[in-house]
Homo-oligomer: A and B are copies of this chain.
């Protein structure tokens, strides 16, 4: 079959033309290729041929592991997304917020800024469900918990513990990820220090 996958100049392949990768190295190359191709050509034009070529492997290798493009993309996301841990006990409100929003930020950086494209591309998508289940819903819950405990310590008013306010940090990170490049740690700090703390601790 003639394929119009673009010529590949993968450094690994070029510098080790007969090298074959196995296990984690191969999978890493494949997942990286998925994210790179989405950035380069968009999800709509993503094909198994292009992913294989970008990874310096073959379609047979992909089909040996995944039954479809969709399941590969879902696995790439699943293996990359962070979990959102509860912050350690005894931290300040500021440290807590930084902690959870840093996890949200990494949800964008680990996929080279394509998390949002993956989530948007298919209707009723498994990627969206996964991102929500793994990152956004837990983050929301953790932030509400952080705000609840701050209320308990008398640091903030109880009426500030709302879904809307809890949504500010992730929304700003998402927004930046949409506008790309992916948000950096300074962004998280700015969100906490310039928006959340002033809003929460205003009298």
| B-binding residues in A (CB < 8 A) | 38-45, 116-117, 119-125, 162, 164-165, 167-168, 170-172, 174-175, 178, 190-191, 194-195, 198-199, 202-203
Chain B residues near A116 (CB, 8 Å)? Answer: 120, 178
The answer to whether B42 and A123 have CB atoms under 8 Å apart is yes
Residue of B nearest to A191 (CB): B164
Which B-chain residue is minimally distant from A202 (CB atoms)?
B202
Q: Are A162 and B194 also in contact (CB < 8 A) when A122-B44, A123-B41 are?
A: yes
Enumerate chain B residues within 8 angstroms of A170, measured Cβ to Cβ: 175
The interface residues of chain B lying within 8 Å CB-to-CB of A42 are: 121-125
Q: Is B171 a contact of A190 with CB atoms below 8 Å?
A: no
What is the predominant secondary structure among interface residues of chain A facing chain B?
A: helix
Given the complex of chains A and B, what is the CA–CA distance between A123 and B167 in angstroms? 27
With a cutoff of 8 Å between Cβ atoms, the chain B residues found around residue A119 in the complex are: 178
Contacts of A199 in B (CB 8 A): 195, 198-199, 202
In the assembled complex, 15 residue pairs joining A and B whose CB atoms fall closer than 8 Å, in A order, are A41-B123, A43-B43, A43-B121, A120-B120, A120-B121, A120-B178, A121-B121, A162-B194, A168-B172, A168-B195, A171-B174, A198-B199, A199-B202, A202-B203, A203-B203
Query: Would you list the 5 A-B pairs with minimal beta carbon distance, nearest first?
Result: A202-B202, A42-B123, A171-B175, A120-B120, A42-B122
Q: Is the CB of B198 within 8 A of A202?
A: yes
CA distance A199 to B202 in the complex (A): 8
Which residue of chain B has the shortest Cβ distance to A40 in the bound complex?
B123
With A164-B172, A164-B195, A195-B199 given, name 14 new contacts (CB 8 A): A42-B121, A42-B123, A42-B125, A45-B123, A116-B178, A117-B120, A162-B194, A164-B190, A168-B195, A170-B175, A174-B175, A174-B178, A198-B199, A198-B202
